[in-house]
């Protein structure tokens, strides 16, 4: 009975360790792609600047990301998540090599959840402001500034994409880590 | 002889119900091996029914039971803020007593798409939290249910993402309503619509509280999965 149990274990062991290694490699790849996404978003939003060629006494026709505090929060949140992702990349590379990590996966899940909340908050707050800039609001009498600031609007709309992609990837990362924990 | 072993079995079962299996095998020193299955089945029949010995069990089992109970309680605690936020935004309706030719001084959540999204997502989150209560209870009653806990963790993570998105979008709109924006020439409407602003601000705060509780639930579920698996 012992021999057959051992045989069963050794015949299952390469497959299960292969799946574990696959999960860990996927973890590293997704983390890297999310890092690229947040970096691109932060840079695209941070370098927005548009000055219109006419001006009056009352209104200045110049737009930057720092004029809207929500977009500033977006840049800061994306920078923090970007830094976290690049710092956690070595940890997940270690998980490929040494699958018997006890506490590090748990710590990774904890910080991944915190970073998911942060990047989601930044991305969706910026999305609300971008929507407001595109459509305006009739009741509150808020004008749609995209009518005048074309390239500024395009830039801030495009930079949201990278952030949302990073949010979905962080979600997948948490689920992957949980599955890896459950299989151990 | 058999009466003596029955008395021992009863004493052992009533005195230390949680630690029964180990101590009963020391009582039956080797004479009545037929009596040994009976005490274990008695304690197995007793264990699911008695709530107190379950939590007071020694070692890891008591901690798992505690964490399962905390999980259940936190779920109920997170349901309150989400429901309150959804209702509060849904019933926010303010009409000012002044009107001109051009502007209508009437604000509802319908006028702001971000608030509509916020209300819908909070309603979904409240419904999800209620529906996940039986699964959480199943996780307490059956200690070996890793699949249920994994499912709850996945769904909790998705809910955290959705709820944070809705709360952040509503917070952005509330911030603009409070402060306005000089460059974009957006007037802070909270100067006129006091009640509307207070309601929506309170709803956003409640929603963020629920997000915090959900994040604690995720980490606790991960801890539980890890320690269940290691045994």
Domain ranges of chain B: 56-229
Residue A93 lies in a domain: yes
Three-state SS for A126?
A: helix
Of B112, B168, B229, which has the smallest distance from its Cβ to A121's Cβ? B168
Residue A9 lies in a domain: no
For residue range B40-99, what is the model confidence (pLDDT) as tens digits?
444 444 444 445 555 555 556 677 778 889 999 999 999 999 999 999 998 888 777 666
Q: In this structure, are strands A62-64 and B106-108 parallel, antiparallel, or unpaired?
A: unpaired
Helix (H) or strand (E) holding A171: helix A150-183
Of B165, B172, B229, which has the smallest distance from its Cβ to A182's Cβ? B229
Residue A6 lies in a domain: no
A114 touches chain B (CB under 8 A): yes
For residue range A37-89, what is the model confidence (pLDDT) as tens digits?
999 999 999 888 877 766 665 566 777 888 889 999 999 999 999 999 999 99
Q: Which residues on A lie below 8 Å from B168 (Cβ)? A: 120-125, 128
**Which residue range is the domain that position A36 belongs to?**
16-48+65-183
Of B157, B211, B226, which has the smallest distance from its Cβ to A171's Cβ? B157
CA angle A102, A107, A110 (to 5 degrees): 135
In a 10 Å sphere around its CB, with 0-12 CB exposed, 13-18 middle and 19+ buried, how is residue A62 labelled?
Answer: middle
Number of domains comprising chain A: 1
Q: Which residues on B lie below 8 Å from A63 (Cβ)? A: 183
A87 touches chain B (CB under 8 A): no
Entry pTM: 0.78
| Distance in angstroms (rounded) separating the CA atoms of residues B95 and B87 | 18
If phi > 0 it is left, if psi is from -120 to 50 it is alpha, else beta; for residue B180 that is left
Chain A residue with Cα closest to B190? A140
Chain B residue with Cα closest to A179? B150
Query: Does B3 have pLDDT greater than 50?
Result: no
Instruction: Report the gap between the CA of A64 and the closest CA in chain B (Å).
Output: 9
Residue A59 lies in a domain: no
Residue A53 lies in a domain: no
């Amino acid at each position: 009975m012992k021999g057959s149990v051992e045989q069963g274990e050794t015949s299952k062991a390469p497959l299960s360790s292969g799946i574990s290694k696959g999960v860990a490699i996927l973890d590293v790849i997704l983390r890297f792609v999310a890092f690229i996404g947040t970096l691109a978003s932060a840079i695209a939003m941070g370098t927005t600047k548009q000055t219109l060629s006419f001006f009056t006494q009352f209104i200045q026709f110049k737009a930057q990301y720092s004029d809207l505090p929500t977009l500033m929060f977006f840049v800061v949140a994306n920078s923090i998540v970007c830094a976290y992702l690049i710092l956690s990349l070595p940890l997940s590379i270690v998980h490929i090599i040494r699958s018997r990590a006890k506490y590090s996966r748990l710590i990774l899940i904890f910080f991944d959840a915190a970073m998911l909340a942060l990047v989601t908050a930044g991305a969706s707050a910026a999305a609300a402001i971008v929507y407001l800039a595109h459509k305006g609001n009739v009741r509150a009498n808020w004008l749609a500034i995209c009518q005048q600031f074309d390239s500024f609007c395009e830039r801030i709309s495009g930079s949201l994409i990278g952030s949302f992609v990073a949010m979905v990837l962080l979600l997948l990362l948490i689920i992957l880590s949980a599955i890896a924990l459950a299989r151990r | 002889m058999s009466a003596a072993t029955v008395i021992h079995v009863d004493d052992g079962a009533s005195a230390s119900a949680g630690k029964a299996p180990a101590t009963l095998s020391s009582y039956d020193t080797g004479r009545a091996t037929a009596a040994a299955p009976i005490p274990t089945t008695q304690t197995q029949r007793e264990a699911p029914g008695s709530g107190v010995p379950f939590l007071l069990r020694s070692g890891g089992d008591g901690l798992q039971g505690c964490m399962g109970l905390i999980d259940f309680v936190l779920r109920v605690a997170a349901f309150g803020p989400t429901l309150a936020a959804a209702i509060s935004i849904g019933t926010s309706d303010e009409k000012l007593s002044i009107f001109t030719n051009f502007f209508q001084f009437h604000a509802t959540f319908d006028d702001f798409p971000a608030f509509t999204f916020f209300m819908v997502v909070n309603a979904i989150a409240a419904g999800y939290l209620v529906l996940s209560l039986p699964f959480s209870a199943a996780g307490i009653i059956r200690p070996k249910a890793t699949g249920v806990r994994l499912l709850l963790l996945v769904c909790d993570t998705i809910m955290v993402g959705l709820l944070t998105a809705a709360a952040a979008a509503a917070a952005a709109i509330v911030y603009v309503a409070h402060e306005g924006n000089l460059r974009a020439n957006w007037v802070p409407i909270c100067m006129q619509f006091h009640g509307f602003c207070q309601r929506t601000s309170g709803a956003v705060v409640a929603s963020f509280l629920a997000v915090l509780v959900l994040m604690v639930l995720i980490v606790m579920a991960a801890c539980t999965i890890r320690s269940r698996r290691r045994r």
